[in-house]
Amino acid sequence: PNSKQGDGKPRLLLMGQRRSGKSSISSVVFHKMPPSETLYLETTTRITKDQMHSFMDFQVWDFPGHLDYFDPAFDVDNIFGEIGALVWVIDAQDEYLDAINRLNTTILNLQQHYPSINVEVFVHKVDGLSEDYKSDTFRDIIQRVQDELSDNGYENAPVSFYQTSIYDHSIFEAFSKVIQKLIPQLPTLESLLNSLCSTCRIEKAYLFDVLSKIYIATDTSPTDIGSYEICSDYIDVIVDISEIYGWDRSNPDAQKTGDSSAQDVSGDSGNDDAESLITMEKKGSNYLYLREINKYLALICIMSEDSPTEKKALVDYNVSIFQEALQKVFQR
Ligand code: GDP
């Protein structure tokens, strides 16, 4: 339902006013730009379509803030007909009343014609704000949107709110939650991860899209940003190593077949013989276990264990079973 192209890939649209941070977000999350370099980005003055080669094809359409996209001359269906989620960026360090008015108008317009689109509001640039001001602003924005919608008789709108910044992990965490809503297999992935965790006494397991560091699923035990951060930092280390030893992620031909990651395991990358990387390492009082599942996905587990070497065989075995199950899930 999220894609009329029939490729089953979730598509995202990134919108918001000029200077709200749209280009920065897509550069940092999808193109590995260091946050401080976004200071020199040109502000967006046109619609840009950004193809993302990853487990899924994210399409980040970066809209200029002033554009009137509900103008009849605009091909609205072309824009909204194919997306699963609209990410709306609000600059929390700036005057935001205009932004909220535009957001409300957009939600009410969308509701009539495209009620299945999730609206995901990023209250952005919260890094510069004090804790008090941050939570007041967040609450104020939620209130203003909800009031306006219920004044218009629109209750229970599919609108969610996140506090984000490109200077910490919050932008990745928010995108993870946005993407997960667009993955129909999510409940199956979660229960596979749950059973892996309980069999091997793993504390937390994440299935990461390696390139974007977005996690597409985790087990259903409580998540904290700390464990996400540990795993995300570990991926940075591993990506460096796997560029030498692991899957060839740079081959453009291999990335055309994105609909089935299972297909990619057999691989058309010309790199079929590559062993998937498996590592286990001590990190503070924990052990981190990482295994590449295919070209795009890696499983990372956090364990606290006294004698991890004995356990590694057990984990290896169960992760293999998990990997097979995962292939079946995506083949269907
Ligand atoms: P766009 O016009 O919506 O594409 O906005 P830009 O991406 O050009 O961002 C405008 C400015 O906001 C740039 O100077 C960015 O460095 C800055 N910016 C973007 N995200 C953040 C953030 O999370 N925190 C802070 N403090 N500044 C940000």
**Tokens 């924990």 found at:** 286
Q: Where residue 78 falls among pLDDT bands split at 50, 70, 90? A: confident
Q: Give the residue, out of 19, 46, 89, 91, with the most ligand 1 atoms within 8 A of its beta carbon, to mutate for a pocket test.
A: 19
Q: Would you say residue 6 has pLDDT above 70?
A: no
Distances (CA, A) of 20 to 68, 109, 166, 315: 17, 22, 12, 44
Angle in degrees, CA 87, 90, 94, rounded to 5: 170
Pull the structure tokens for residue 147: 């009031």
Sign of the CA dihedral 74, 80, 81, 83?
Answer: positive
Q: 75-84, 201-210, 312-321: which range is least confident on average?
A: 75-84
Q: How far apart are CA 204 and CA 234, in angstroms?
A: 14
The answer to whether the beta carbons of residues 103 and 90 sit under 8 Å apart is yes
> Higher pLDDT residue, 172 or 254?
172
Cα–Cα nearest to 183, from 229, 214, 212: 214
Computed over every residue of the chain, the mean pLDDT equals 80
Ligand 1, CB cutoff 6 Å, lining residues: 16, 18-24, 38-39, 41, 43-44, 124-125, 127-128, 165-167
* pLDDT for 126: 97
- Joined together, the tokens standing for residue 95 give 């005057």
Binned at pLDDT 50, 70 and 90, residue 332 comes out as low
Given a cut of 70, whether residue 58 has pLDDT beyond it is: no
Q: How far is it, in rounded angstroms, from Cα 143 to Cα 280?
A: 46
* DSSP secondary structure letters along 76-125: HHHHHTT-SEEEEEEETTS--HHHHHHHHHHHHHHHHH-TTPEEEEEEE-
Residue at 20: amino acid letter: S
SS percent in the chain: helix, strand, coil, step 5? 45, 20, 40
* Helix or strand run (H / E) with residue 206: strand 204-209
Cα–Cα distance list, 267 to 52, 54, 128, 254 (Å): 19, 15, 45, 7
pLDDT mean over 181-191: 92
> 3-state class of 211 per DSSP?
coil
The neighbour count for residue 318, using CB atoms within 10 Å, is 16
What pLDDT sits at residue 89?
Answer: 94
What's residue 7's pLDDT? Answer: 57
One-letter identity of residue 235:
I
Torsions phi, psi of 24, nearest 5? -60, -45
108-163 pLDDT, tens digit per residue, is: 888 888 888 999 999 999 998 999 999 999 999 999 999 999 999 988 888 999 99
Q: Which atom of ligand 1 is nearest to the CA of 164?
A: 23
Q: Does ipTM surpass 0.90 in this model?
A: yes
- Kindly report, residue by residue over 194-221, the tens digit of the pLDDT: 999 999 989 999 999 888 888 999 999 9
Ligand 1 center from residue 130 Cα (angstroms): 18
| Predicted confidence (pLDDT) at residue 268 exceeds the cutoff of 60 | no
Residues in the chain: 332
